Amino acid sequence: MTAQRLSPLIIDKVVSRALREDFGDAGDITTAATIPANATSTAIIAARKSGVIAGIDLALAAFRLVDPAVRISIEKDDGARVETGDIVLGIEGTARSILSAERVALNFLGHLSGVATATAALVDSIKGTKAKITCTRKTTPGLRAFEKHAVRCGGGHNHRFGLYDAVMIKDNHIAASGGIANALRAARAAAGHMVKIEIEVDGLAQLTQALDEGADVVLLDNMSTDDLKKAVAINNGRAVLEASGNVTVETVRAIAETGIDVISSGWITHSAPGLDLGMDFK
């Protein structure tokens, strides 16, 4: 896959904030005191565990915003699989700039590669089925756009980005609207023609209702694989069916093999451990 570059329009403010968080008002006082201003260095960022890379553009931005003169070669771009020891980035520039930007670059790269790696673990587990792995809105505040991107780097797909770009009707909405039919009709009347409507159902009876009202997507939360299979049969291709709940590397294949279309996981964004990456000077 060719990595899709993330626009500076979306990246730069977030990376600047992260750098300011690390620089404070006094800046990198260690480097200023101990490294000559004109010393130059060559460094690499390499993987210390195997995984999938995501966030290269944010790492690049960290170096660029500290010092536009730092030169970087991308050895493993977003979406690439890495093994322990693989070089991800080659870096040349003044030692001060490289050292000052290092931690922010690694914090983005490690976090997002962690998300990509967790996603890839689920994607790998269901290879050969037609199901897609998607994320949820259970993301780290302020980093959703990037975690969504990391999910794609890991081979997953994106669910809605927020409250604004798709309708998702859950039990409280159904209760407040007076039932599935009313909720779906209200949503259809209010939503524009470019907006998809998903509804969460708690059983097969509700599924039938939702399909009759023309839901675009139906969420089946915490259902047994037996029920999921029945749901697939009832649906018969009408709506997109999404399964969620208790999705792990161990359970996901069985869920996918029910014939479900989409499997969504909060874990890949809210609980993926960071991928261990480190910087070494030559």
Residues serving a catalytic function are 103, 138, 170, 200, 221
Instruction: Tell me: does residue 35 bind a second copy (CB under 8 A).
Output: yes
141 contact partners, CB below 8 Å, separation of at least 6: none
Which one, of 140, 98, 89, 84, lies nearest residue 275 by Cα? Answer: 84
237 contact partners, CB below 8 Å, separation of at least 6: none
Q: Which of residues 168-227 bind a second copy (CB under 8 A)?
A: 168-169, 172-177, 183, 186-187, 189-196, 198, 217
Q: Residues 28, 97: contact at Cβ < 8 Å?
A: no
Q: How does 69-95 read in b/e, with b if 16+ C-beta sit within 10 Å?
A: ebebebbbbbbbebeeebebbbbebbb
- Which listed residue (60, 242, 247, 265) binds a second copy by CB under 8 A? 242
Instruction: Tell me: does residue 282 bind a second copy (CB under 8 A).
Output: no
Which one, of 139, 151, 125, lies nearest residue 254 by Cα? Answer: 125
Q: Which stretch binds a second copy (CB under 8 A): 73-81, 120-128, 252-260, 265-273?
A: 265-273
Closer by beta carbon to a second copy, 64 or else 76: 64
CA distance 217 to 234: 14
- Which listed residue (1, 71, 162, 205) binds a second copy by CB under 8 A? 162
The CB-of-217 to a second copy minimum distance in angstroms stands at: 6
Q: Which of residues 91-110 bind a second copy (CB under 8 A)?
A: 95, 99-100, 103-104, 106-108, 110
The CB-of-7 to a second copy minimum distance in angstroms stands at: 6
Instruction: Tell me: does residue 74 bind a second copy (CB under 8 A).
Output: no
Closer by beta carbon to a second copy, 127 or else 226: 127
Closer by beta carbon to a second copy, 163 or else 226: 163
The CB-of-278 to a second copy minimum distance in angstroms stands at: 11
Q: Residues 87, 75: contact at Cβ < 8 Å?
A: yes
3-state secondary structure of 62: helix
For residue 268 the two structure tokens come to 């890949």
Amino acid at 116: A
The CB-of-228 to a second copy minimum distance in angstroms stands at: 16
Closer by beta carbon to a second copy, 24 or else 226: 24
Closer by beta carbon to a second copy, 76 or else 148: 148
CA 199 vs. chain centroid, Å, equals: 22
Closer by beta carbon to a second copy, 72 or else 169: 169
Which one, of 116, 41, 39, lies nearest residue 71 by Cα? Answer: 41
Which one, of 254, 54, 225, lies nearest residue 146 by Cα? Answer: 54
Q: Which of residues 120-159 bind a second copy (CB under 8 A)?
A: 132, 134, 137-145, 148, 157-159
The CB-of-130 to a second copy minimum distance in angstroms stands at: 12
DSSP tag of 6: P
